[in-house]
Amino acid sequence: MINTIPPALIFIIGALLVPFFKGKVKSAYLLLLPVISFINLISIPIGNHWVVSFLGYDLVFGKVDRLSLLFGYIFHLISFIALLYALHVKDDLQHVAGLVYAGSALGVVFAGDLFSFFVFWEMLTISSIFLIWARRTRASLGAGFRYLLVHVCGGLCLLAGIVLYVNQTGSIEFGYIGLNGPATYFIFFAFGLNCAWPILHPWLTDAYPEATITGTIFMSAFTTKCAVYALARAFPGTEALIWIGAIMTGFPIFYAVIENDLRRVLAYSLINQVGFMVCGIGIGTALAINGAVAHVFNDVLFKALLFMSMGAIMYRTGKINGTALGGLYRTMPLTCIFCMVGAASISAFPLFSGFVSKSMVMDAAAKGHMKIIWFILLFASAGVFHHAGIKIPFFAFFGHDSGMRPKEAPLNMLIAMGITAFLCIFIGSFPGPLYSLLPYPVDYVPYTMPHVVGQTQLLFFSALAFSLLLLSGIYPGEQRCVNLDSDWFYRMAGKRFMWFCDKPLVAFGNFIDRNVLRMARASKSSFGGAAHFEDGFDKFYHVGLTSTPTVIYNWVKRLRTEIGYLPINLIYVFICFVVLLFIMLLLGR
Amino acid sequence: MKEKDDTDKEYLFDKPRNVKILLGCFFSSLVVLLILEFFVHKHPHFPWEGWLEFYAVFGFVACVALVVAAKYILRPLMKRREDYYD
């Protein structure tokens, strides 16, 4: 107790020291940090630690139980892998941001009260945004601002929910909340936003593909998984989650089929995988929660592996679009093999890690006699193989020959991918150690004959469908294009606002203008001393009514020509959101 | 990065024979899987899980439906020029 410290603290303090090291010492330091923190973590006993009294409330920085510990383990593991993968990066900003990000995630997971939870939750956003901006392109700048916008809105929702909740219950303990009353709906919504629920999801598919090569590995691991943790802690067994999760598994695969940017394909499949977890938490039985949490553990690994292999391609070729890649297995064979291990794991092939966790959620749905949910999940299982399992490796490493002959990935990337690939296969082949870490005792055997044969049939015949569609030319070719998603609403809001200023507002101004003048003229002809009156009238109404729209219009227009639509979008959407939030708060009271 | 200056070098799948072998393995494993089902004792949660070759048919149909829906419904609805948001 005395000789252990909160894991979040190690990462965050450690991050601030990074710029003071140079060369090989820095590399060693970066890799040692998660290892030291992990040793610290395993010596923390179960229970509540580091309780600090603050304004009459108890802040708990170490709520350690089996659920939070498992998340703690995987977050340490992936931090180590992501740091190893990013070892060649010379940019200190990325290392610092990555470490603070990991530290915040650990802070969220071990937070035992709503206040410290909220602070770490916001730090997740702030630190991760630098991983997007560090790419230093115009697209990443925009994506980063949109990411910030969405998460600040989510954060406000969470804050509103927490304030209402604490006001009602008088306790700031973070435990089971459950859906009852407006306060909990606000919290639920905020969790859902970070979890990338349908319609709330485009921040993820917008921002992750714009982040730096190494930053995406961090990002794929933390934000959504923290939200899954929060849901598992506060809302297990909430029925709405079953349906939300099922829809999450279903809709992104359609987008993934037609998406060209391969990292965006992975972002869609990330939503699909989180859907399985959300669904499991919604079902809420011991088997389902176990399955959801085990799937978090596996998904962090195989999704990182897939992002790493795509990152390696991007690092070597500078390209990531399916239209520009192909045939890279020739000179990047190891990356290709690691990518296929990740693909097999995410598709839940027997002996790969996805198989031992996804099937737990499916079985929990079957045991609960949820026919439609089960069918959606099965459809999503076939679909995920189709886009993440085949499309990603095929379009990058096989398919048409792009003519590029890049070098194999750098050594640190290869080692990072190798470790992850090994873990994917190890967990898939020997699920025992993972099962022993799960929150509830596990009484589940994944490797039964009908299950193995059924799953293999499902996957192989999906592959058959892919190859037949490809050979017949029906398979949609990759195209350079943008696919609309629900981020349309806030990306086009500025344009809509401009239109509003341009058309109705100015028309209104002109209308007033004309009538005021006419009235003034009429009064002049019938009234002797009207000249004076007209002057005053005109000044007041003309300047007051007519020019206000014109001034707004000119102002917005100048802003647009100087810095583009982005800030108009952001400001406009944010103001609308805050107004909406206040209205809802007033109604909800 | 070298641009195709070593075109004379033959890689694994440049030989049509190797592709044929791969496809052969793939198709024969499909057949093996179909036959294997007759020797498996099933204990289904749902009645349709017990139907003959349920998973194989479902996997095939689901993927065809997925691709057809994505190509002919979603893409025409959602596709825009690359600079749409700029």
Indicate whether A112 pLDDT > 60: yes
Location of structure tokens 């011991």 = A286
Give contacts of A449 with chain B, Cβ < 8 Å.
Answer: 40-41
Q: What percentage of chain B has pLDDT greater than the value 90?
A: 30
The Cα A205–Cα A256 span in angstroms is: 10
Q: What is the mean pLDDT of chain A?
A: 89
A125-178 pLDDT, tens digit each? 999 999 999 999 888 988 999 999 999 999 999 999 999 999 888 888 998 998
Quick check: A407 and B59 CB within 8 A? no
Indicate whether A462 pLDDT > 50: yes
Location of structure tokens 């916008």 = A149
- Predicted confidence band at B64 (pLDDT cuts at 50, 70, 90)? very high
Q: Does B85 touch chain A (CB under 8 A)?
A: yes
Provide the ipTM: 0.88
Shortest Cα distance, chain A CAs vs residue B30, angstroms: 7
Q: Does A28 touch chain B (CB under 8 A)?
A: no
Within 10 angstroms of residue A535's Cβ, the number of other Cβ atoms is 11
Indicate whether B6 pLDDT > 70: no
Indicate whether A580 pLDDT > 90: no
Backbone angles phi, psi at A61, to 5 degrees: -95, 0
Both B52 and B85 in one domain: the answer is: yes
Residues A194-211, mean pLDDT to the nearest whole number? 93
Q: What percentage of chain A has pLDDT greater than the value 90?
A: 64
Spatial neighbors of A492 by CB under 8 A, at least 6 apart, are A569, B85
Exposure b/e, A19-41, CB count within 10 A at least 16 = b = eeeeeeebbebbeebbeebbebb
The residue ranges of DSSP E strands in A222-305, in sequence order, are none
Q: Which residues pair with A219 in a beta bridge?
A: none
Exposure b/e, A374-395, CB count within 10 A at least 16 = b = bbbbbbbbbbbbbbbbbbbbbb
Name the H helices within A318-332.
Answer: none
Quick check: A476 and B80 CB within 8 A? no
A355-381 pLDDT, tens digit each? 999 999 999 999 999 999 999 999 999
Within 10 angstroms of residue A334's Cβ, the number of other Cβ atoms is 16
Q: Which residues pair with A54 in a beta bridge?
A: A57
- Predicted confidence band at A513 (pLDDT cuts at 50, 70, 90)? confident
Location of structure tokens 């991918």 = A417
Give Dmax (Cα) for chain A.
103
Q: Which of B58, B63, B73 to mutate to test the interface with A (most CBs of A within 10 A)?
A: B63
Q: Which of A280, A425, A454 minimizes the C-alpha distance to A356?
A: A425
Say what the pLDDT of residue A562 is. 64
Say what the pLDDT of residue B2 is. 42
Both B21 and B51 in one domain: the answer is: no
Give contacts of B54 with chain A, Cβ < 8 Å.
Answer: 454
Residues 315-344 on A with a CB inside 8 Å of B are 316-317, 329-330
Both B56 and B76 in one domain: the answer is: yes
Indicate whether A528 pLDDT > 90: no
Inter-residue contact A68 to A116 (CB < 8 Å): no
> Would you call A323 helix, strand, or coil by DSSP?
coil
Backbone angles phi, psi at A33, to 5 degrees: -55, -55
The Cα A105–Cα A480 span in angstroms is: 35
* Domain-located, residue B1: no
Quick check: A363 and B45 CB within 8 A? yes
Say what the pLDDT of residue A465 is. 93
Both B51 and B76 in one domain: the answer is: yes
Indicate whether A67 pLDDT > 90: yes
Q: Assign 3-class secondary structure to A15-49.
A: HHHHHHCCHHHHHHHHHHHHHHHHHHHHCCCCEEE
Indicate whether A545 pLDDT > 70: no
Both B31 and B65 in one domain: the answer is: no
Q: What percentage of chain A has pLDDT greater than the value 70?
A: 93
Comparing alpha-carbon positions, the chain A residue that sits nearest to B52 is A454
Residues A317-337, mean pLDDT to the nearest whole number? 91
Indicate whether A501 pLDDT > 70: yes
Residues A337-357, mean pLDDT to the nearest whole number? 95
* Domain-located, residue B53: yes
Both B52 and B79 in one domain: the answer is: yes
Backbone angles phi, psi at A59, to 5 degrees: -90, 130
Which DSSP string do the residues of chain B spell out, in sequence order? -EESTTTTS--GGGSHHHHHHHHHHHHHHHHHHHHHGGG-----SSGGGGSTTHHHHHHHHHHHHHHHHIIIIIHHHHEE-TTTT-
What is the total count of domains within chain B? 2
Both B80 and B67 in one domain: the answer is: yes
Residues A437-444, mean pLDDT to the nearest whole number? 92
Comparing alpha-carbon positions, the chain B residue that sits nearest to A484 is B78
Q: What is the mean pLDDT of chain B?
A: 83
Residues A541-545, mean pLDDT to the nearest whole number? 57
- Predicted confidence band at A1 (pLDDT cuts at 50, 70, 90)? very low
Provide the token pair at A454: 């059924």
Shortest Cα distance, chain B CAs vs residue A288, angstroms: 16
Q: Does B71 touch chain A (CB under 8 A)?
A: yes
The Cα A304–Cα A225 span in angstroms is: 13
Four-CA torsion A353, A355, A359, A360, nearest 10 degrees: -30
Both B25 and B51 in one domain: the answer is: no
* Domain-located, residue B2: no
A223-280 pLDDT, tens digit each? 999 999 999 999 999 999 999 999 999 999 999 999 999 999 999 999 999 999 999 9
Indicate whether B53 pLDDT > 60: yes
Indicate whether B1 pLDDT > 50: no
> Would you call A404 helix, strand, or coil by DSSP?
strand
Domain interval for residue B82: 45-86
Say what the pLDDT of residue B52 is. 81
Both B17 and B52 in one domain: the answer is: no
Exposure b/e, B33-68, CB count within 10 A at least 16 = b = bbeebeeeeeeebeeebeeebbbbebbbebbbebbe
How long, in residues, is chain B?
86
* Domain-located, residue B27: yes
Provide the token pair at A378: 């099965």
* Domain-located, residue B3: no
Both B51 and B64 in one domain: the answer is: yes
Both B50 and B85 in one domain: the answer is: yes
Residues A524-544, mean pLDDT to the nearest whole number? 56
Say what the pLDDT of residue A566 is. 73
Spatial neighbors of A280 by CB under 8 A, at least 6 apart, are A245, A288, A289, A291, A292, A295, A360, A361, A364
Closest CB to B59 among A253, A374, A458: A458
Quick check: B78 and A483 CB within 8 A? yes
> Would you call A402 helix, strand, or coil by DSSP?
coil
The Cα B36–Cα B59 span in angstroms is: 17
- Predicted confidence band at B4 (pLDDT cuts at 50, 70, 90)? very low
The Cα A422–Cα A249 span in angstroms is: 26
The Cα A211–Cα A139 span in angstroms is: 10
